[in-house]
Structures are given as structure tokens and as C-alpha cells.
Structure 1
Amino acid sequence: MRAAPGLGAALGLGAVLTLLSPPPAPAETFSAMLSVRRALGSEGRLLRRLRAYLRDESRRLRRLARFYEKVQALHQDPKASVDNPLLAFSLIKRLHSDWPNVIYSVEAAENTQALHAGLKEVEQELPGAEDLDGAARALMRLQDVYALSVKGMANGVFQRAGASRPPLYSPSRRVSLSADDCFHVGKCATSQVAYDTGDYYHSIAWLEEAVGLFRLSYGSWNPEDRSSLEDALDHLAFSYFMAGNISHALSLSKEFLLYDPSNQRVARNVVKYEKLLETGTVASAGPLRRPNGTRLQSRDAYEELCQHPGGQPAPEQLPHLGCSYETNGSPYLLLQPAKKEMIRIRPYVALYHDFISDAEAETIKGLAGPWLQRSVVASGEKQQKAEYRISKSAWLKDTADPVVRALEQRIAAVTGLDLRPPYAEYLQVVNYGLGGHYEPHFDHATSRKSPLYRMKSGNRIATVMIYLSAVEAGGSTAFIHANFSVPVVKNAALFWWNLRRNGDGDEDTLHAGCPVLAGDKWVANKWIHEHGQEFRRPCGANQQD
């Protein structure tokens, strides 16, 4: 089990620098949907450049067609003889200057240079190789957590593998992946993971799909493709070889040589595979098993909760669960009580509906947007990026805007806790990325070396997580040990106690942010610490409580 997520030292130097330093340069597009949406603007500018290029090239090609038709007509006209000195002159002139001008067209070069200049203008904004790999890993994550069919995903359908139930998500516009798209996902699996952990489970599934699509379109050419059937066959054969399926690796390599018979490397592989099969020194390949790259002991429970949000409470809890209007003894809530839904008693989890307005949510997202940076996690005494947390975050002081100050007052009224510095951290605003998630973790520190204790205000006693947006599918908050999950409810706030009254961490608060299957998930987190709450949440009579 992991310690609490990283804070940017919350009220310390890290958060202050985040608030004062200039916004970061575009990077890690895949880790926040806001960045992905901004990338649409860059592509829009490229589209306008390409439209201008196509327009100018179309004019040039029409003129080129007229030149062709004029010369072709001369060649087909039996009366057009070079005995005519004028025709002889025009022939010599065409061959000396007209044809070089046509072939080495200045106009064509200028059109291409304009297109290149357009690319240069947005080059700093474009996603890099890390983004492509991150996007590919996101698709594999969605495939795993939601048990999706690779063939279905390639066809634009989010259907569970082998299931006859309705798709988990039905987009209004269905978009299929190309052979080149599938190849890049499979290649990412082999190049980024496989050499270390043997992840051929993913590479084989995606490369099989790529090979199938390339076979269907063999002979046609797409200007945007960087891979080919031969590339896909080569990588797939390697994956099967590493997975122990020598006969299939041999079959694919032989098919490769049908298209590229001069490739000596693949020819040597064929000889090697044949010898291995003849000697029988290779054990038969077993079924492909998905690697537990996340190292989660609770992976199955986590994924089940992500696939089926909700969960049945224990019978003894049922009488205590329900909905109510709450003032919590606060004058702030007298005219507009909080709409409270008790989700669970142990651990104590409550959902406050309509906790924030649409306008307030948009204001908070707008304030945080320019300052978003890749979220980090605690690793011992340090903080670092991690594959198990894909999002960007920013910290907002209550002085950032009256909306933030009003929200802090509302949280204090509903929870009855003291949020004055240093008893609570700044408001953390998070935007999840492509397939964005946060694997099972505790919000409270599980080690005294955690950066949380730099605040000198104790451990995190409670969490308030506000859903600033809706999502189309996925993104639930799953409580693993307690065996329930809460779907995203726009403008609602989820509250839970991280610590028991005796100060010990509550093991039942192990929770996760399920991958966002479709949509743009924004949340705001308010973490409240122990110090300052001694008389607001006193110890109980029972030491175990």
C-alpha cells in the first residue's frame, strides 16, 4: 500500500513557487484533458495551412495539366512535324528550360515551404514521443481496467471482451483506429515494457489487429502512415517468439519474406526458428497472461469496482443510510442547508449534492488552468511523477478569488472543521488526462517521513473532494477494502474521515480514481489536518474507535 499522494509541500515552498512562477511550457499533453483540448487548436492552425497549400497546389496542378495536354496534343498530332522550324525550336526550348521549370518548380517549392513554416509555428506546442507513448498506455489501461475488446476498440466500440451486454460507452460519433494506430499501441507495449516485464499480452493483441487491417488495405498508401504490413509482421513475430510461440513466429516471418524477400535479418530468424522447432528444445507456449505491471495486490477488486460503480452496503448499515438537509449547527447553512447523502458509515463517507454551482466550478477551473503541472506522488521523503497517477494539478490560495474563499467557508461549515492555515492545505485542482486515473492509495500519510508532516500540523484527518465536471463514462472513486465505489456526480462534494478518532489511519479509506473512459474529469481536493481539530472532533471513549 502506498503512502499519501504528493502535495508540492502544500502550504510550504513548493505550493508558493507554483503560485508565483510563470505557467509551464506545453508538455505532457496526455496527462490532462485541458492540454489535449489545447492541442486541438494547434491542429486547427495546421489544417488552415494545409487548406491553403491544397488550394495553391490545385492551381499549380491545373496549370501543369494544361502544359501536359498541350505537349501531349503535339505528340499525338501527325501534322505537328519538327520539320517545321517553329515546332523544332519549341521542342528544344521545352527540353532545355520548360521541363526543368516544371520538374523543379519554384512555385511548388514555395507552397511546400509555406506548409513547413506552418508546422514550425506550432512545433513547440506539438505532442512529443512521450505523449504518444502515454496515449498508447492509456488505451491499454482502459483495455485492462474495463476488460475491453481490442478488436472492438479498433472499431470504435467500447465493448467488454466476450460480453453480450451493451457497450460501456457509445460515442455520438464512432471513430475507428487505423492499422498504423494499432501498430503504434502494440509497438509501445513491446518497446516500453516488454523487454523488462514480458508484456506480450498487450503487444500481441494490438499487433494482431494492426496486421489484420494492413492485410485488408495492402497496396494502398496513406500519406500519414509511418508503418507498414512488414513492420507489423516483424514486431508481431518477435512478440510471439518472446512469448514462446515459435511456430507462429516462423509463420509470420515467412509471410514477411513474401513482401520483402531480400531482408537478411528476417531470413536468419526463419532459419533459427526452424532449428528450434526441429530440435524440440523450446517448451510449448502457454496461454498469454496479463502482467500485473501495477503490482496491485487488490487489482481484481479495484477493476471490478471501476466496471460496476456502486456496491451493496452491509445490512447493519442500511438503517443509517439516507438523505437529509444538514445545517451542522452553522448559521452559514441556515438559509441553504447542505444536501447530504450518507454513502457508508464505516468508513464514514458522505456525498453533498449541489455543493458548488456551475459558475463557481468554471471559475475554479479557469483559475487553475494556466498553472496545471503534472501531478506527483510521495516516494519516501521525495515527490515524483508516477505511471499510477495520470493527471495535472494546481494549488489555489483562498486569496486567489472570492469564489475560492466562499468555497472554503462552505467546506468549514459543512465539516465543522478549522480550515485556517496551517490546519488545512490549499485547494488542489486536478484535471485528469487521457485514461487518467490514480491507483489505490491513502490520502493520509502512512510514514512519519512523508512530506505531509512538513506542515507541522499532523496527518490528514479528512478529505473533501469536489467534482467540478461530469464525465461520460468511468472515473468513479473506488474504496477498495470497503468494497464500494462512487460515480462522478457533477458539482457534488465527497467527504470522508481518513483517521479514526484515536489518530490511527483508517485502512478502509484505501481508494482509487478509476480511469476516465470518456470525458473531462476535474476535481478539487481540500485536505484538512489533525491540528486545530482537537475540540471539533475529539477522541472517543473507546480507544479502538
Structure 2
Amino acid sequence: MTAQPESAAQLKARLREGGFPDMPEIIAVPAAPKRPSPPATLALDEVLDPPDAQVLCESPRIAQIDGLLSVDECRLLVATAAPLLRASRVHAPDGSDVGERELRTSRDVSFDPLLEDFSLRLAQLRMAAAAGMELVDAEQLIVLHYAEGQEYRPHRDYLPPESIQRDHPAAGNRKRTICAYLNTPLEGGATVFPARDVRVEPKAGRAVVFDSLDADGRPDADSLHAGLPVERGEKWLATLWLRERPYRAY
């Protein structure tokens, strides 16, 4: 299909008049296919097969995956999440909700699996596969938005025992996290792991996956990480927290 920039500009203007904010510019280079596909077919095995990961650290394991999500998937996640965002919440050590704090200044929304469409489900299946786990192990998908100056200060994703007991105790702790960047900020917003001097720059379609537990299933303090402040532009991020055992019914 031929690009129609004038029609696109007119549509954006009408949406703006109706109170819809502009979406961020999202440009992502698709990953090269691992194998040829027959024309005019829906090859789900290829759709669910993630690109190869680049391991940045062995302990805790931290890896970067470029081209995990397509530009259309990034746009879909942003467009679906944007009207539903609310101030991000943080939790006290006893698992109670203590509201918005300086630790985390983003906005976010979680998606109930019952309300997902097919495209959102495919994106999550590929994210889980890229993390080497099954989607049933994942908590609800979270999409986060960081405006200029917003950040997520150093923290760890594994849960205290009190939180586990409150939320699906049979699923165990958060074993692994995968975060997919949905756009490329103009400046800032990197994910850093201070204990291992690892830094991952945000780029649309790119993902970072890392372990929160060690090989023996114990919380790994070296999984400490942070989302640096967005200096210019904005940052959109999709996150799956994956438990040790199944969390979802499907």
C-alpha cells in the first residue's frame, strides 16, 4: 500500500480535535525471518518464534533481544493502553498498596486476559517464549508510560513472602522479567543494572529479559535495576513478570 501522508495528517488533525492525543513516533526495524515462509499463509510457528537473544550477563542472566515486537504491535499496545493509564502503584514490604511514591513516577495499565484480542495474545506469547517460559506463568501484561523526567528508581522485581501469600501463592515468586520497549525516547530512559554495570538503551521493538532468582530459586540481590529518567520525549514499555509456576488459567 502506498503511503498517504496528507490523509494521515488530516486524520490526526480530526482525532486531535476530538481530544485524542498524538501517538509517539514509532519506528522499528523488523527482525529478519529465520526461515522462508510460503506466500499467503499464516505461519504461527514463525510468529511465535522470537529472534535470538544477546546475552549481556550470565549471573544474573540478562539478555537483549532486538526486533521482538513489530512496529504494528508496538503501536497497538500504545493505542490500547493510552486511554486507560493511571498513576503507577508501589507496594510496601508487607504487600499492601501504598499508592504513588517517588520510587516510581510512571503511569500504567494492566490487561485482563479475558479482554485481550488475538494480536495482544500473540505479542505476549512471543514475549514469554523469548523469556524461555510459558505465558501461563505470567502475571497480567503491564504497559507503562514515562513522560519527561519520570523514572523507576533502583528496585528488584522478586516479591516478599507476604505479597506471594496475597496473590497466587501456588505460583511462587517472580522468576524472570521481560520488558519490551514500544518506542524510542529522544533521550534517556535506559534500563540499568548497577551491580553488573549493564545498560540497555530503549529502542522500539527491543526487549530486555533478566532473572530475579538465582539457580537455587532464591532471590538474587544483584538483579537490582532501574529505569533512568526520560530526558527528552517519552517512553512506552510493556512488561511481563513471570512466576516460578503457572499463574494464569490460560
Pairwise TM-score range, normalised by the shorter structure:
0.7 to 0.9
- 1:367 and 2:80 aligned: yes
Aligned length: 208
Question: CA separation in 1, counterparts of 2:50 and 2:132?
Answer: 14
**Alignment deviations for residues 233-291 of structure 1 (CA, whole Å, 9 cap, x no partner):** xxxxxxxxxxxxxxxxxxxxxxxxxxxxxxxxxxxxxxxxxxxxxxxxxxxxxxxxxxx
The letter of the residue matching 1:497 is: D
Q: Which residue pairs with 2:106 in the alignment?
A: 391
2:133 counterpart (394, 411, 417): 417
Counterpart contact for 1:378–1:451, Cα < 8 Å: no
CA deviation vs aligned residue, 1:306-337 (integer Å, no higher than 9, x gap): xxxxxxxxxxxxxxxxxxx989xxx9359965
Distance 1:413 1:523 in 2: 18
Query: 1:238-277 alignment to 2 at 5 Å?
Result: none
CA distance in 2, matches of 1:477, 1:373: 22
Is the strand fraction higher in 1 or 2? Answer: 2
CA distance in 2, matches of 1:504, 1:390: 29
Matches within 5 A, 1:146-161: none
Partner residue in 1 for 2:11 = none
1:344 maps to a residue whose letter is C
Deviation of residue 485 (structure 1)?
Answer: 1.4
Q: 1:449 to 1:414 in 2, by over 3 A?
A: same
1:377 to 78, 87, 90: 90
Structure 1 residues 372 and 359: alpha-carbon distance in aligned structure 2, compared to 1, 3 A threshold: same
Structure 1 residues 452 and 388: alpha-carbon distance in aligned structure 2, compared to 1, 3 A threshold:
farther
Q: Is the 8 A contact 2:181 2:202 kept in 1?
A: yes
1:77-476 maps to which residues of 2 (within 5 A)? 332-333=45-46, 338-379=51-92, 380-383=94-97, 384-398=99-113, 399-420=115-136, 423-445=137-159, 447-450=160-163, 453-456=166-169, 457-476=171-190
In the TM superposition, structure 1's runs of 4+ consecutive aligned residues that sit over 2 Å from their partners are 331-337, 411-416, 450-453
Distance in 1 between residues matched to 2:195 and 2:216, nearest whole Å: 20
- Residue 408 of structure 1 aligns with an amino acid whose one-letter code is Q
Structure 1 residues 523 and 337: CA distance shift in structure 2, 3 A: closer
Matched-pair contact (CA < 8 Å) for 1:340–1:350: yes
Separation in 2 of the partners of 1:499 and 1:326? 31
Q: How many Å separate the matches in 2 of 1:452 and 1:512?
A: 26
1:388 Cα deviation after fit: 1.9
Letter in 1 for 2:122: A
Shift of 1:450: 2.3
How big is each residue's C-alpha offset from its partner over 1:35-59, in whole Å with a ceiling of 9 and x where there is no partner?
Answer: xxxxxx7xx99xxxxxxxxxxxxxx
Q: 1:371 to 1:411 in 2, by over 3 A?
A: same
- Name the SS of the counterpart of 2:161 in structure 1: coil
Q: What SS does structure 1 have at the residue aligned with 2:195? A: coil
Q: Which residue type is aligned with residue 529 of structure 1?
A: R
Any unmatched runs of 5+ in structure 2? 1-15, 20-32, 36-43
Alignment of 1:485 with 2:199, yes or no, is yes
Q: TM-score, normalised by structure 2?
A: 0.75
Q: Is the 8 A contact 2:74 2:204 kept in 1?
A: no
Post-superposition Cα deviations, 1:177-202, rounded to whole Å, max 9, x if no partner, equal xxxxxxxxxxxxxxxxxxxxxxxxxx
Which amino acid counterpart does residue 343 of structure 1 have in structure 2? L
Contact residue 326 and residue 337 of structure 1 kept, 8 A: no
Instruction: Kindly provide the CA deviation profile for residues 96-125 of structure 1, in whole angstroms up to 9, marking residues without a partner as x.
Output: xxxxxxxxxxxxxxxxxxxxxxxxxx9xxx
SS at match of 1:512: strand
Is the CA contact (8 Å cut-off) linking 2:49 and 2:129 kept in structure 1?
A: no
State the 1:412 CA deviation.
3.2
**Aligned partners of 2:50 and 2:129 also within 8 Å:** no
Distance 1:452 1:467 in 2: 31
CA-to-aligned-CA distance 1:440-497 (integer Å, 9 cap, x gap): 000111x212267512211100001000010111101010111221111221111111
Residues 20-71 of structure 1: CA deviation (Å, up to 9, x unaligned): xxxxxxxxxxxxxxxxxxxxx7xx99xxxxxxxxxxxxxxxxxxxxxxxxxx
Q: For residues 451 and 502 of structure 1, do their structure 2 counterparts lie closer, same or farther at Cα, with a shift above 3 Å needed?
A: closer
Distance, in Å, in 2 between the alignment partners of 1:515 and 1:358 is 24
Q: Which structure 1 residue ranges, 5 or more long, are not aligned?
A: 1-40, 46-121, 123-324, 534-545
Percent of residue pairs bearing the same amino acid type = 29
Q: Please state if 1:506 is matched with 2:232.
A: no
Pairing 1:496–2:210 present: yes
* In structure 2, C-alpha distance between the alignment counterparts of 1:387 and 1:401, rounded to whole Å: 34
Q: Distance in 2 between matches of 1:452 and 1:476?
A: 32
CA distance in 2, matches of 1:499, 1:483: 18
CA RMSD of aligned residues (A): 2.8
Residue 401 of structure 1 aligns to which amino acid in structure 2? D
CA shift for structure 1 position 397 = 3.2
Aligned-pair CA distance for 1:532? 3.9
Partner AA of 1:366 in structure 2: A
Instruction: State the Cα distance separating 1:375 from its structure 2 match.
Output: 0.1
What is the Cα deviation at residue 343 of structure 1? Answer: 1.4
- Structure ID, larger Rg: 1
